[in-house]
């Protein structure tokens, strides 16, 4: 495919944090639009985006950013989706595609859909990509490479618009999946939301103890601190907006933990050994699925000791 053919004339990025700024970078690298309009509420963040040269135009007026855009990508904490949709709705161009990147889908749909004007293609989306960093400096063009982007299209979605958006994300490096919003929210509750909540919790428990958790963190604890360093606003909103699925998964987790705790108390070595053997195989599967690097300790060692290693 020729890079000179821009699938979109104008793309508006609403929100320019980790995801928005990674999109800005890959759009430029792959030539996916002639004009990239960047909008965010914060003057400071907008100024930084301009310094980084992330787009073609910069404004805190989101209506101005989305005017005439063929594709509008909302990359804000999920709790702000409704407010953004209400604000941009009058300025959206008929025929435009409106999408988002939120980690919860049923809630985002409920918040945004009522505001979407007839003639605008609203296609909820979620790229499963990120790091523990946030803000416009944290983004990078490869973020979406070989990561899944999940769409949860509404009934009656125009197949041509869906294909156009899918092609955009493929050119950002993603693999595409579609599913219904409820299935998305339940799946993400187990693969993403529960791990983050557990990480936040264990780091909090250790911090409360004023133990030597920091000094001796290389013995296991530090692995959890990465997820627990994720953006607080984003994750507060995820917890509030995927509550039922998260509570269901927390219930299962606690039930399993009680059973494991009982095995420890009663010295049931066989049960412990069986679980620990089963879980080892799961990591092997993730590496084989191309979703994890096959290097000990996440490859940290290769970075710490590049010469001697």
Residues 259-288, interacting with its own copies (CB under 8 A): 260-261, 263-265, 267, 269, 272-273, 275-280, 282-286
Question: Please, what is the minimum distance in Å from the beta carbon of residue 136 to its own copies?
Answer: 14
Task: Note whether 246 binds its own copies by CB under 8 A.
Answer: yes
Torsion sign across C-alpha atoms 257, 263, 266, 267:
negative
- Which residue's CB is nearer to its own copies, number 47 or number 258? 258
Q: Rounded to whole angstroms, how far apart are CA atoms 105 and 178? A: 12
Geometric angle at alpha carbon 148, from 147 and 153, rounded to 5°: 155
Question: Please, what is the minimum distance in Å from the beta carbon of residue 188 to its own copies?
Answer: 7
From 63-71, 105-113, 115-123, 183-191, span contacting its own copies (CB under 8 A): 183-191
Q: Rounded to whole angstroms, how far apart are CA atoms 37 and 66? A: 7
Phi, psi at 60, each rounded to 5°: -90, -5
Which of the residues 52 through 71 are near its own copies (CB under 8 A)? none
Task: Note whether 1 binds its own copies by CB under 8 A.
Answer: no
From 5-13, 51-59, 87-95, 249-257, span contacting its own copies (CB under 8 A): 249-257
Number of residues that bind its own copies (CB under 8 A): 111
Pairing of strands 125-127, 148-151: antiparallel
Which of the residues 22 through 51 are near its own copies (CB under 8 A)? none
The radius of gyration computed from the CA coordinates of the chain, to the nearest angstrom, equals: 21
Task: Note whether 94 binds its own copies by CB under 8 A.
Answer: no
From 31-39, 65-73, 107-115, 190-198, span contacting its own copies (CB under 8 A): 190-198
Which of the residues 106 through 165 are near its own copies (CB under 8 A)? 128-133, 138, 140-143, 145-148
- Which residue's CB is nearer to its own copies, number 37 or number 141? 141
Q: Rounded to whole angstroms, how far apart are CA atoms 161 and 293? A: 34
Q: What is the dihedral of CA 140, 144, 150, 155, to 10 degrees?
A: 70
* Helices 194-208, 232-241: crossing angle, 10 deg rounding: 120
Question: Please, what is the minimum distance in Å from the beta carbon of residue 117 to its own copies?
Answer: 30
**93, 117 Cβ separation under 8 angstroms:** no
**141, 183 Cβ separation under 8 angstroms:** no
Question: Please, what is the minimum distance in Å from the beta carbon of residue 294 to its own copies?
Answer: 10
Question: Please, what is the minimum distance in Å from the beta carbon of residue 178 to its own copies?
Answer: 13
Question: Please, what is the minimum distance in Å from the beta carbon of residue 88 to its own copies?
Answer: 24
Q: Rounded to whole angstroms, how far apart are CA atoms 119 and 284? A: 47
Task: Note whether 198 binds its own copies by CB under 8 A.
Answer: yes
- Which residue's CB is nearer to its own copies, number 60 or number 285? 285
Count the Cβ atoms, other than its own, within 10 Å of residue 298: 12
């Amino acid at each position: 495919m020729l890079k000179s053919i821009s699938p979109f004339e104008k793309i508006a990025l609403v929100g320019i944090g980790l995801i928005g700024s990674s999109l800005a970078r890959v759009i430029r690298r792959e030539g996916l639009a002639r004009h990239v309009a960047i909008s965010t509420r914060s003057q400071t963040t907008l100024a930084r985006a301009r310094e980084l040269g992330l787009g073609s135009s910069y404004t805190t007026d989101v209506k101005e950013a989305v005017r005439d855009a063929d594709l509008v990508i909302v990359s804000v904490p999920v709790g702000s989706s409704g407010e953004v949709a209400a604000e941009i709705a009058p300025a959206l161009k008929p025929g435009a595609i409106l999408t988002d990147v939120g980690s919860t889908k049923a809630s985002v749909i409920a918040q945004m859909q009522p505001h979407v004007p007839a003639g605008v293609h609203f296609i909820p989306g979620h790229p499963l990509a990120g790091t523990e960093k946030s803000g416009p400096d944290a983004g990078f063009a490869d973020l979406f490479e070989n990561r899944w982007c999940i769409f949860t299209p509404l009934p009656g979605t125009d197949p041509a618009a869906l294909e156009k958006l899918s092609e955009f994300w493929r050119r950002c490096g993603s693999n595409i999946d579609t599913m219904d919003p409820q299935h998305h929210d339940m799946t993400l509750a187990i693969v993403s939301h529960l791990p983050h909540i557990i990480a936040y919790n264990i780091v909090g428990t250790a911090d409360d103890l004023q133990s030597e958790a920091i000094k001796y963190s290389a013995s296991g604890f530090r692995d959890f601190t990465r997820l627990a360093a994720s953006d607080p606003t984003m994750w507060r909103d995820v917890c509030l907006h995927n509550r039922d699925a998260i509570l269901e998964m927390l219930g299962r987790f606690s039930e399993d933990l009680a059973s494991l705790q009982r095995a420890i108390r009663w010295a049931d070595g066989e049960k412990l050994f069986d679980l620990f053997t089963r879980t080892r195989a799961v990591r092997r599967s993730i590496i084989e699925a191309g979703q994890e690097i096959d290097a000990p300790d996440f490859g940290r060692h290769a970075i710490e000791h590049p010469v001697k290693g």
